[in-house]
Homo-oligomer: A and B are copies of this chain.
Amino acid sequence: MASSIPIRPQASVILGVDVGGTKLATVLATPDGAIRHKVRLPTEAERGPEYGVARVISMLRRNLQETGTDPADVIGIGVACGSPMDAARGIILGPPNLQSWNPVPIVEILESEFGIYTELENDANAGALAEWLLGAGRGMRNVVYMTMGTGIGGGLILDGHLYRGSNGNAGEVGHMRVVDRGGPRCGCGKRGCLEAFCSGPSIARRAREALTGLGKTPLLALAGSVEAVSAEHVFSAARQGDALALHLVEETAYYMGVGLANVIQALNPQAIVLGTIATQQGDFFLDRVRAVVHEETWPQMSEVVQILPSPLGELVGDYAAISIILQHMNTTTDPFLSKQS
């Protein structure tokens, strides 16, 4: 196991680190989830992992010093980062937008620096913990979280704890196939994945394909050029009544609905919480998704499941990081046990 220092459940604050390809954020929060202090700086990934890790350490020092907190008052440090990683051993293994961070034994580094229990989790799993402990899934036993931004990641809370799968890869619901054969190539290398239809870049790609060879449409006028079309343009044009954009939104909702229905038939959750695009577009998009889910799931499943936008929105990264520690205060008295799984 990665950690050599015990968690301090009786201490008063939690530290969180959100490691992204473009920005680093560290927060200090109380166990009720209230963020008391935050530091945010660019990652400057091109300067390499030593530089970035040193920056994280100095940011955490600022969290402590500027709030007058003693390291002994910290319950633990949660670190959220993209996969691939070895979460059990606390090692970052070069996620797509931080490829030089490979390997970075972040848990060992922060534990020896601060003497505080530290735990690493991938950002989709940590996001699921955040939505379950602090967001739309509070008080529920079974919650599926799906990002809906650059990609479609996911995390599963099942029977009141994070389900990681056999080697930490559970929850990749964005890479379930939603068409029979073929389909567009996904960023993951497969074809026909949900993500290849419904991520932000995939919506934009489908819009560009649909616009090719057409004359001036309201969507094209909004974007300026075919190349400039984004998912946001598609939703804006659809809200203004552009038929083509509305068709693209309906199609997106159809594939999301099919993907969610498949998840619901398998897992019978109480909620599916959707981030980013779903949060931004709200019921204009989600009501269309819900209608498809209603068609595509058994009544006994659809009557117990809610399709909800993430209330944490853009702040999910901050809450995700602290939720890695918070989960142990709700579900287990032995963090080492759940880290090993």
For A296, list chain B residues within 8 Å (CB): 177, 190
The interface of chain A, by Cβ under 8 A from chain B, is 84, 141-142, 154, 156, 158-159, 161, 163-173, 175-181, 188, 190, 254, 258, 261-263, 265-270, 296, 298, 300-301, 304-305, 341
Bound-state CA distance A177–B178 (Å) is 7
CB-contact partner of A262 in B167, B171, B176, under 8 A: B176
Cβ of A248 to closest chain B Cβ, rounded Å: 16
Q: Is the CB of A166 within 8 A of B269?
A: yes
On whether A265 and B176 interact (CB within 8 A), knowing A159-B161, A159-B341, A190-B296, the answer reads yes
Question: Nearest CB to that of A171 among chain B residues?
Answer: B266
Seed contacts A141-B341, A171-B268, A179-B179; 18 additional CB < 8 Å A-B pairs: A141-B166, A159-B161, A164-B268, A165-B269, A166-B268, A166-B304, A166-B305, A167-B304, A168-B268, A170-B267, A172-B266, A172-B301, A175-B265, A176-B261, A176-B262, A177-B261, A180-B180, A181-B254
Q: Give A171 to B263 CA distance when docked, in angstroms.
A: 10
The answer to whether A177 and B258 have CB atoms under 8 Å apart is yes
B266 touches A188 (CB 8 A): no
Report chain B residues within 8 Å CB of A188. Answer: 298
Is A298's CB under 8 angstroms from B172's CB?
yes
> Pick the contact of A268 from B170, B177, B263, B270 — CB < 8 Å?
B170
- Residue in B176, B190, B300, B301 whose beta carbon sits within 8 Å of that of A266 in the complex: B176
* Copies of this polypeptide in the complex: 2
Residue of B nearest to A172 (CB): B265
Partner of A165, one of B168, B169, B180, B267: B267
User: How many angstroms from the CA of A178 to the CA of B258 in the assembled complex?
Assistant: 10
Given A159-B161, A180-B180, A258-B177, A268 contacting B300 (CB threshold 8 A):
no
> Cα distance A318–B247 when bound, in Å?
52
20 A-B pairs with CB atoms under 8 Å apart are A141-B166, A142-B165, A158-B159, A158-B163, A166-B268, A166-B270, A166-B305, A167-B268, A167-B304, A168-B268, A169-B301, A170-B266, A170-B268, A171-B268, A172-B265, A173-B266, A176-B262, A179-B179, A262-B262, A266-B267
